[in-house]
Each structure stands twice: as C-alpha cells, then as structure tokens.
Amino acid sequence: MRRVGRPGAEGRRVQPRRGGTTRARRPGQARHGGELRSGAGRHRLAARELPLRRNRHGVPGHRPPPAPGRSAAQLAPPEQYALVKANVDELTVVQLGLTLCDEYGNIPVALDGGGRPLEVAWEVTFSDFDARRDRHAPESVEFLRSSGIDFDRSRARGVASAAFAAKLAAILSSRRGRGELTWAAFGGAYDFAYLVKMLAGGRPLPGTWHAFATQARALLGGRLFDAKYMAEHCERADLCGGLRRLAASLSVQRTNSPEPPAACLAGRKSHSACRIYTAMRRHILYRDGGASHQGLMDGLHH
C-alpha cells in the first residue's frame, strides 16, 4: 500500500503462488495497492518502518542514550528498551512497509504492464509528521528528503497513522480464532514498537520489555521474530551485518533487479526482511523453524 499518490494496482489481480519457489522474483519493485484487505489463511507479516531516528540503516533522529558517555550498543537490555521507549513515545513514524507470505514463504504476485510477475510489498507513507511542529533531528529529515521523501506531499496525500491503525486493528480483529499470525522484522525492536504505539492509540509504551511483549502479542495477534537476531545467534559466522549484506549471504536478493523508485524505502526493506526470515526459518534453523527465537530482539536480548 502506498498512499502518497494514486493507487497503482487497480484492475490487476494479485495471486499468491503455491509451492516452495516463486518464478521471476523481482524484489526491487513493488506493486502498490490502494486498500488494505484481510486475506484468508495464515500469513506472516514482515514490517519495516522508517521513523525519524538513527538505526543501522542510517536514518538518524534518535534521542541520546540514557547513560552519558556510552553508546546504545553498550547499554544493558533494560536500558536498550528504555531508549526504544523514549524514542517511540516522542517521535513520529514516517513510513511503514508490509510484506505478506504464507508458511512456505510464498509472497503474493501481481503482473506488471508487460505481463511479468512481481512479488508484492505494500508501503504506507503517513501524513502525521510536520517538521515545523514535531521534534526531530534535522539530519534525519535531510536524509529522508535525499532518499525521495516529499514531506509536503506526505502531509497532503499521506494516510493518518490513526486511520491506518483503525483499519489494521479491524483486520486483525476479524482474524481472531483463525490461527495466530507470525510477525517478522529485521532489527525489529523499533518496528514492533511503532506498530504497537499506533494500535494502542498513540499511548506511551509499557515501562518494561516484558509488559510490551505481552501487549504486542495481544494487539498483533501472534508471535514476534527478529530475523537479525536469528541470524546473529545461529552459529553461522558469515550471517552477520546489515539487511543488504545478509540478504546477499542468503541469496535472497537479486542483483539484477531494477532499482525501485527513490522514495520506495520501507516496502523494499520489508520485502528483504521477509525473505531473510523465511530463509533463516526454512534453511538455517530448520530443526525447530526458528521457534526458539520467538520474541527475542536484536539489542534487547543477548
């Protein structure tokens, strides 16, 4: 989904493919639909948000760590969560990327104008942020602008996070009793935190990680996984680093894929996170499917 312009998928059929593989993957492109609809069966949701903060993908805007003289990496897990909470309670999310897949990792496919199948990722640009009013780091805004984000256009034509949260909550509520969802992200503490904040009506996050995890499971209706944590704790020394490096190591990113539009940030990263999670679960942690890593987040757990 992308609500910064006209919907781009009207009149085209989106079909999830069956089986263990998908033909003609082109993960650099995303088909953007105009609505968020509930689908039948079990799906996994890979979320990638771009709030105004610093993370390992170089999107600055965070508050300084609560302990002077120490970097975020040197903080104990409770301090790490306190930092996440301080950022998320205060700052505003800009984009959200969502990718759906079934238990085998099959991602919905749409046909482009030439009849070629493209795996689908949804991207939402929110209208909430206003640099003239909201707290932010100036270098964060400049980075996002240089990446193609038009904040004036987002305010005029984006979707309000409250409206999106209400729609998502209705979809999740309609699925109650039909099997739990699995949510996956890459370096996902902030991603899940912003989702929970939206679904909780913008209220501050709980005071502890354990309380947050309980609230997240209740609101999201399923289990949480962090593909980065899974990779860094799988006893494979080569599976480390950022999103792009890990995608290349697992051969889930095609180097000959066309470049996406400049502002297509969250959807593309969501797609990569989904593919990495599936590869980790099915090919690396195949003994238990990664179940032993449920709820464990990079930076918050050792």
105 backbone φψ class: left, alpha, beta (φ>0; ψ -120 to 50)? left
User: Each residue of 89-121: b (16+ CB within 10 Å) or e?
Assistant: eebbbbbbbbbbbbeebbbbbbeeeeeebbbbb
Q: In terms of Cα–Cα distance, which of 301, 275, 285, 187 is closest to 236?
A: 285
Of the two residues 32 and 122, the one the predictor is more confident about is 122
State the number of CA atoms in the 13 A half-sphere of 27 facing the CB.
Answer: 23
Q: What does pTM read for this prediction?
A: 0.78
Residue 288 has pLDDT above 90, yes or no: yes
pLDDT attached to residue 301: 87
pLDDT attached to residue 37: 38
**Whole-Å CA distances, 300 to 101, 135, 245, 296:** 26, 25, 22, 7
Please report which confidence band the pLDDT of residue 165 belongs to, taking 50, 70 and 90 as the band edges.
Answer: very high
Domain assignment of residue 247, yes or no: yes
**Whole-Å CA distances, 1 to 6, 85, 119, 200, 296:** 10, 27, 13, 21, 28
- Average pLDDT across the chain, whole number: 79
pLDDT in tens, 43-81: 455 555 554 432 232 233 566 666 667 777 788 899 999
Domain assignment of residue 302, yes or no: no
Determine whether 176 is exposed, middle or buried from the number of CB atoms within 10 Å of its CB (0-12, 13-18, 19+). exposed
Domain assignment of residue 285, yes or no: yes
Domain assignment of residue 146, yes or no: yes
Domain assignment of residue 301, yes or no: no
pLDDT in tens, 108-139: 999 988 889 999 999 999 999 998 898 888 88
Domain assignment of residue 95, yes or no: yes
Domain assignment of residue 198, yes or no: yes
The number of domains in the chain is: 1
Q: Please tell me the distance from the alpha carbon of residue 236 to that of residue 254, in angstroms, as a whole number.
A: 22
Q: Average the pLDDT over 95-114 and give the result.
A: 91
pLDDT in tens, 190-243: 999 999 999 999 999 999 999 999 999 999 999 999 999 999 999 888 998 899
Q: In terms of Cα–Cα distance, which of 2, 241, 199, 224 is closest to 88?
A: 199
**Whole-Å CA distances, 177 to 15, 41, 45, 54, 213:** 24, 11, 18, 38, 20
Domain harbouring 242, CATH code? 3.30.420.10
Q: Please tell me the distance from the alpha carbon of residue 234 to that of residue 18, in angstroms, as a whole number.
A: 28
CA angle 102–240–92, rounded 5-degree value: 70
Domain assignment of residue 8, yes or no: no
| Domain boundaries, position 180 | 14-293
pLDDT attached to residue 64: 60
pLDDT attached to residue 260: 54
pLDDT attached to residue 299: 87
